[in-house]
Structure formats: C-alpha cells, structure tokens
C-alpha cells in the first residue's frame, strides 16, 4: 500500500480562506481581529515560528503586533505587558511563544493572559473547558491535526487513536480532542513499555515526541492515518519528522509529510482562534 499524502499546505489554504470570510465580515462591522505575539529572547527556531505567525495574520488582513523582548526581561515586566494587552481593544488574541527563559515562570505567564484572549488555549480555564467538553479555544497544533483528519476524510468515531507524547502543547490536548470526537484513545510516552505493540494497534497515530524518525513502517498498522507533529533538523540541515516517512508511507493509509504537513495548520488555527476571539469579544461588547 502507498499512503495518501496529506497536503497540509493545501488544506491550510482552504481553511484560511474559510476564516478570511469571517474576518472580512467582522471588518465590515468595524472590528479588525488583532493578535499580539510576544517572544522573549532570541531562540532561532522560535523567531522563525513567530515571524510566520505574524506573516499569516498580515496575509488575512488581520492586525498584529510583534513584541520582541530581550532574554533578560524580568517576569514582572512581561506580566505588565500582558496586562496592558488584556486591556487593549485592538488586540483580541495574545500569544507568548514558549519556551520562555528559565527565570520566568511560564505558568504565571499563561495564567495572566485573559482567558477570552487566550488563542493558544493554554490558560487553565480553557484547558479545563477542553477537558470538560465545553471548549472555547483548542490549542492550535492539535486543532490543526483534527482539521487535517476531517478534510482528508479520516473517520475518527469508534477508532483507536494512539498519541505519542504528553506535552501540554500537543499530546494532552490532542488526546482530549480525539476523545471528544469519540475515538478510543491511548497516550504513550517515552517510558511506555513495548511502544510498537501500541502503535501497531492504532487506526490513527499522532506522533509528537521530538525524536527524529523514531516510528518506522513496521510499527504501523496497514491503512492507518499517521500524523507527524515532529520537526527535527538533521545533520545535513534538512528537516524531518518523528516518523520515518519512506518506510511509513508504504504501510499507512494516510500520512503527513514534514515539512508541509502539520506545520502550516498550526499557524492557520492560530488565525482561526484569533478571528473567533474577535467575534466573541465584539458580540460581548454589543451586549454591554
């Protein structure tokens, strides 16, 4: 079997076009959705991600602020900036790129973002809402994976979904979204004994481990949908995922490439969450 390649760039364009319609409708009514992205320090990978997020907003005609703070910025100064943005009517979404430098407590930072503007979905209130099935903002990467599955015609209900990775950014919210969609969900970690036993039983396999090419074709159930969230730089400078694409594509039914799979969707869902935040905040304002 040769897998269908899930084209994340094409699906991202399609989903962005859908959200552009909603953004344009808001603009006609006098609200331009606005996103503030804060980066603390100069981690090269984070800088690229943040630049791409700001660029995507511009492409959809959204307002954006790109706030660059030096690596020695105090926690207090960062919290003050967040509180200012919470009150700023031009801003509907606030994102602090993670990781932040070690002297800053990331939980305090995420707690400070107004839940109504938390387009990452990382505030404890939004995490709780996702866990109890009354989601407001889904974290962008798992939300993007759900869209990829939906747009590719992969059925989720009743299927066995295996998520490898338990981060707050990807693994845990991914498992919750799949559960919400009526999958039977297994979460594996780096400590899981006999990982292949679990992966070979997965109808849907989402891999978010940060370990290059750790999932090979012999670990995949024939016909499975394989979603690779990894983004690793190899010695030759090329990017690769957590899945060994060449062997996996011979077994899987669907597979995402790296790059060009999940990556474009993460940014797209950030734009979507920002437009949704602007819709909700502008409705709230009209009712005040």
Catalytically active residues are 53, 97, 120
Under a CB-based contact definition with an 8 Å cutoff, are residues 82 and 109 in contact?
yes
In this complex, which beta carbon is closest to ligand GUN, that of residue 78 or of residue 169?
A: 169
Q: Looking at 98, 129, 181, 212, which residue binds ligand GUN (CB under 6 A)?
A: 98
Provide CB contacts within 8 A for 237, sequence distance 6+: none
* Torsion sign, CA atoms 177, 156, 146, 255: positive
Name residues contacting ligand GUN, limited to 53-92 (CB under 6 A): none
Name residues contacting ligand GUN, limited to 103-132 (CB under 6 A): 120
Give residue number: closest CB to ligand GUN: 98
Q: Which tokens is 261 given?
A: 């799979």
Name residues contacting ligand GUN, limited to 181-200 (CB under 6 A): none
| Region from 70-78, 94-102, 158-166, 233-241 binding ligand GUN, contact rule CB under 6 A | 94-102
In this complex, which beta carbon is closest to ligand GUN, that of residue 27 or of residue 66?
A: 66
Please state, in angstroms and rounded to a whole number, the distance separating the CA atoms of residues 163 and 234: 24
Please state, in angstroms and rounded to a whole number, the distance separating the CA atoms of residues 88 and 244: 45
In this complex, which beta carbon is closest to ligand GUN, that of residue 120 or of residue 279?
A: 120
Position 140 contacts ligand GUN (CB under 6 A): yes
Q: Looking at 35, 69, 95, 177, which residue binds ligand GUN (CB under 6 A)?
A: 95
Name residues contacting ligand GUN, limited to 247-286 (CB under 6 A): none
In this complex, which beta carbon is closest to ligand GUN, that of residue 121 or of residue 253?
A: 121
Position 35 contacts ligand GUN (CB under 6 A): no
Please state, in angstroms and rounded to a whole number, the distance separating the CA atoms of residues 270 and 219: 32
In this complex, which beta carbon is closest to ligand GUN, that of residue 7 or of residue 120?
A: 120
Burial of 246: CB neighbours in 10 Å, binned 0-12, 13-18, 19+: exposed
Q: Give me the 212-241 binding string for ligand GUN, x by CB under 6 A, dash otherwise.
A: ------------------------------
* Contact residues for ligand GUN, defined by CB under 6 A: 95-98, 120, 140-141, 169
């Amino acid at each position: 079997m040769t897998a269908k390649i899930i084209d994340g760039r094409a699906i991202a364009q399609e989903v962005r076009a859908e959200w552009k319609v909603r953004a344009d409708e808001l603009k006609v009514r006098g609200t331009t959705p606005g996103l503030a992205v804060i980066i603390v320090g100069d981690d090269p990978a984070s800088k690229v991600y943040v630049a791409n997020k700001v660029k995507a907003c511009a492409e959809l005609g959204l307002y954006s602020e790109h706030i660059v703070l030096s690596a020695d910025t105090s926690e207090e100064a960062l919290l003050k900036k967040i509180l200012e943005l919470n009150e700023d009517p031009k801003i509907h979404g606030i994102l602090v790129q993670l990781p932040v430098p070690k002297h800053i407590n990331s939980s305090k930072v995420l707690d400070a973002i107004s839940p109504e503007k938390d387009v990452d979905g990382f505030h404890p209130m939004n995490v709780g809402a996702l866990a109890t099935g009354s989601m407001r903002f889904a974290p962008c990467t798992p939300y993007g994976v759900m869209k990829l599955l939906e747009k590719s015609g992969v059925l989720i209900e009743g299927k066995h979904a295996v998520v490898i990775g338990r981060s707050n950014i990807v693994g845990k919210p991914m498992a919750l979204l799949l559960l919400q969609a009526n999958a039977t969900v297994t979460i594996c970690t780096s400590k899981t004994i006999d990982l292949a036993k679990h992966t070979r039983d997965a109808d849907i396999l989402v891999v978010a481990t940060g370990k290059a090419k750790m999932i090979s074709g012999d670990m995949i159930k024939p016909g499975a949908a394989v979603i690779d969230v990894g983004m690793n730089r190899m010695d030759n400078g090329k990017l690769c995922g957590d899945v060994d694409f060449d062997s996996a594509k011979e077994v899987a039914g669907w597979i995402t490439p790296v790059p060009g799979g999940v990556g474009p969707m993460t940014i797209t869902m950030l734009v979507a969450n920002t437009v949704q935040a602007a819709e909700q905040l502008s409705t709230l304002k009209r009712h005040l």
